[in-house]
Every structure is written in structure tokens, then in C-alpha cells.
Amino acid sequence: MLGMRETFWVRKLVLEWEFWGTNCQFLSGVLSKPTLRAVPGNVVATGNQVTFFCEGPSEAKEYRLYKVGSQDYLIPTALLETENKAKFSISLVQWNNAGQYWCSYTITIGSLENSDTLELVVTGVYLSNVVLSAIPSPVVTSGGRVTLQCESQEPYNMFILMKDGDHVLGGSCDPQ
């Protein structure tokens, strides 16, 4: 039979385990992956502005925006606490702003969660003419097939097809 002292010690361990068990379950529910989006979109022309929004849970205390390949990070230009998000702005987009970005947040106990990456594509970097051709003809009957061919003097490794200002298709190609 346990004495008074041993009983207290066992009960104290059980209470601490129950407390930490509950606390850990609560924290695992809080640490959701943040979402990252770019406005007006992830395809931006040189010289324009892009704003990133990183959204996390209400417990998020600090937000950061990172770019793949860089050790630096951006701090928010605004913290929208009522919406649980941070705003990061690049007011004058240049060619070197292109790349993959992700954001993270921390909570009071120091835990950190990262978002999925978002690819920022910067257009208008080269000033040479780009020629878009429709093959075999720009006139196509309904249900007919047409091949769109894009040609340039510059060695591009990425293309974006747009229709009326909306991003339709994008990809990369091997230089020939």
C-alpha cells in the first residue's frame, strides 16, 4: 500500500500528464499551414506592384515572407489582425523578384509553420519583339485544330499564354 507521500506524487504525475496531453492536442489543432496568395496575381509585369498576403490562425504572432535561394526574409508592410493575415508589398517589381516564395508564422510558444510555395513570374523583362503565329492559319473553324507558335530572339526558358489579360497556360521549354 502506498503511503501519503507516494500517493500525492503519483496523482501529481497523472495530473501533469493529463494537462500536457490536452495542451498538445489543442496546439496540434492550432498549427495549420498558412496560405499565401499574390494580388493581382502571380504573373506580374516589370515595373508593376505585387502584394503577397499570408494568412494564418488567430494565434499567429509574427509573419515572414521568404524567397527560395535567399537567406533574407521580408517583414510585413501591414498586419491585418482582424483578418489573421499579413501583407507584404513589392512596389516596383523587377526581374530579380521572380521566383518561388513561401510564408511562415510563429505563435507564442515559438512554433513555426510554412505555407506551400507560390511562383512569382515577372513578364516584360526583355524588350525584344515576340511573334505569335497561328499554324496553319489564324482562321479556324469550330472544332478545328490550330497550333500557336511563339518566337523570339531572346533565349527564354518560360512562356505564358494569355487571353484578354487572363493567364491561360504557362510552362517551360528547352532552348533550341
Per-domain boundaries in the chain: 1-30, 33-123, 130-172
Predicted local confidence at residue 81, as pLDDT = 76
Q: Which CATH superfamily is domain 33-123 in?
A: Immunoglobulins (2.60.40.10)
Strand spans (E) along 68-135: 73-74, 78-80, 85-90, 99-106, 112-114, 118-123, 130-135
CA dist 59 and 77 (Å) reads 19
Q: Phi/psi zone of residue 29: left (φ > 0), alpha (ψ -120 to 50 degrees), beta? A: alpha
- Closest to 148 in 3D by CA, of 130, 123, 175: 130
pTM: 0.64
Predicted local confidence at residue 22, as pLDDT = 40
Predicted local confidence at residue 114, as pLDDT = 92
Predicted local confidence at residue 171, as pLDDT = 64
Predicted local confidence at residue 52, as pLDDT = 97
Predicted local confidence at residue 156, as pLDDT = 58
All residue ranges of the chain with pLDDT < 50 are: 1-30
